[in-house]
C-alpha cells in the first residue's frame, strides 16, 4: 500500500492498494474510491464491540478491499488540522485519544484502553477511556490543529492542558494534577486540572482540540433570552 497526504488544513489521505489489500475505518471518513473497492461492514467479536462502544467509536468497522486489481481509496479528516501516519508493531502499541482514529491497514487492531489512574481518566480531558492501537500495520490519525511531537526521557515530565494530548507510547505514564491556588483555578481561565505525562516515550500534542474550538465558538454566539 502506498499513500499520500494532501490538503491541510482539511487534509485527506489517498491510499493506493494492490489487489487483495484492505483498509479499515470506523466512521464515515471515506470520501472517494475507485469502483473496484468492495466494502464489507463487520462488528467483530463481542469483546471488540463493547470495547469500541466504550472508546467512543462506532460498533461497526468498514473494511474496504481492492478486488480484481489495484484500487484507490481516500479518507478525509473531519476537522481542520493534520493527518499523521504511525507504524504499529507488536512490540510498540500506541495510545490515542478516542476521536483520533481515521483509518488503518488490515493488520491494525483497535481496543479499549483504560487509564491506569482513575483521576487521569475522569479529569484528564479525554475521558476515562482512550484507544489502543496494536497488531502490525500503518494507522492514520486525525490531529486537531497542528501536531507537535516530543520524545520524553525516563522520568521527564510535561504538563499539558486538557485535551491537547493526542497520542502517546504505551510506556508514557498519564496522570492529572490540580491547578495550584484558588484564584489561579477560578480566574486563570485554564480549568481546574492539567494532564501530566511522564516518560519514557514519544507524545504527540495537538494545538486546537475540538473541545477547545467548540468552547471558543460558544463564547461568541448570541445568548438566548
CATH number at residue 58: 3.60.160.10
177 in a domain, yes or no? yes
Residue 127 pLDDT: 45
Average pLDDT per block of 10 residues along the chain, 225 residues long: 90 96 88 96 58 56 94 92 93 87 91 61 53 93 91 95 87 79 43 81 86 53 62
User: Domain total for the chain?
Assistant: 1
Residue 53 pLDDT: 56
Residue 192 pLDDT: 62
Nearest Cα to Cα of residue 148 among 84, 213, 200: 84
Residue 41 pLDDT: 86
Residue 174 pLDDT: 83
31 in a domain, yes or no? yes
CA-derived radius of gyration, the chain: 19
**Non-local CB neighbours of 28 within 8 Å, separated by 6+ positions:** none
CA distance 83 to 73: 15
Question: Whole domain around residue 194: which residue ranges?
Answer: 2-215
Nearest Cα to Cα of residue 29 among 70, 83, 88, 67: 83
Scanning the structure block, which residue is given the C-alpha cell 490519525?
141
Scanning the structure block, which residue is given the C-alpha cell 476537522?
79
221 in a domain, yes or no? no
Residue 182 pLDDT: 42
Residue 185 pLDDT: 41
Residue 126 pLDDT: 46
Helix residue ranges, H only, 60-181: 118-123
Amino acid at each position: 500500500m502506498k499513500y499520500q497526504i494532501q490538503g491541510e488544513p482539511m487534509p485527506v489521505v489517498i491510499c493506493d492498494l494492490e489487489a487483495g489489500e484492505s483498509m479499515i475505518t470506523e466512521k464515515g471518513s471515506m470520501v472517494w474510491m475507485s469502483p473496484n473497492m468492495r466494502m464489507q461492514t463487520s462488528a467483530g467479536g463481542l469483546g471488540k464491540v463493547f470495547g469500541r462502544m466504550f472508546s467512543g467509536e462506532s460498533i461497526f468497522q468498514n473494511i474496504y478491499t481492492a478486488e480484481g486489481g489495484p484500487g484507490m481509496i481516500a479518507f478525509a479528516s473531519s476537522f481542520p488540522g493534520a493527518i499523521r501516519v504511525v507504524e504499529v508493531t507488536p512490540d510498540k502499541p500506541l495510545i490515542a485519544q478516542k476521536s483520533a482514529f481515521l483509518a488503518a491497514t488490515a493488520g491494525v487492531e483497535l481496543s479499549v484502553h483504560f487509564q491506569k489512574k482513575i483521576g487521569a481518566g475522569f479529569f484528564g480531558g479525554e475521558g476515562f477511556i482512550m484507544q489502543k492501537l496494536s497488531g502490525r500495520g500503518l494507522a492514520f490519525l486525525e490531529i486537531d490543529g497542528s501536531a507537535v511531537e516530543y520524545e520524553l526521557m525516563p522520568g521527564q515530565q510535561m504538563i499539558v492542558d486538557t485535551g491537547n494530548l493526542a497520542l502517546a507510547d504505551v510506556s508514557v505514564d498519564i496522570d492529572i494534577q490540580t491547578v495550584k491556588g484558588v484564584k489561579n483555578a477560578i480566574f486563570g481561565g485554564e480549568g481546574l486540572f492539567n494532564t501530566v505525562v511522564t516518560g519514557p516515550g514519544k507524545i504527540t500534542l495537538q494545538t486546537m482540540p475540538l473541545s477547545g474550538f467548540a468552547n471558543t465558538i460558544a463564547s461568541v454566539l448570541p445568548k438566548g433570552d
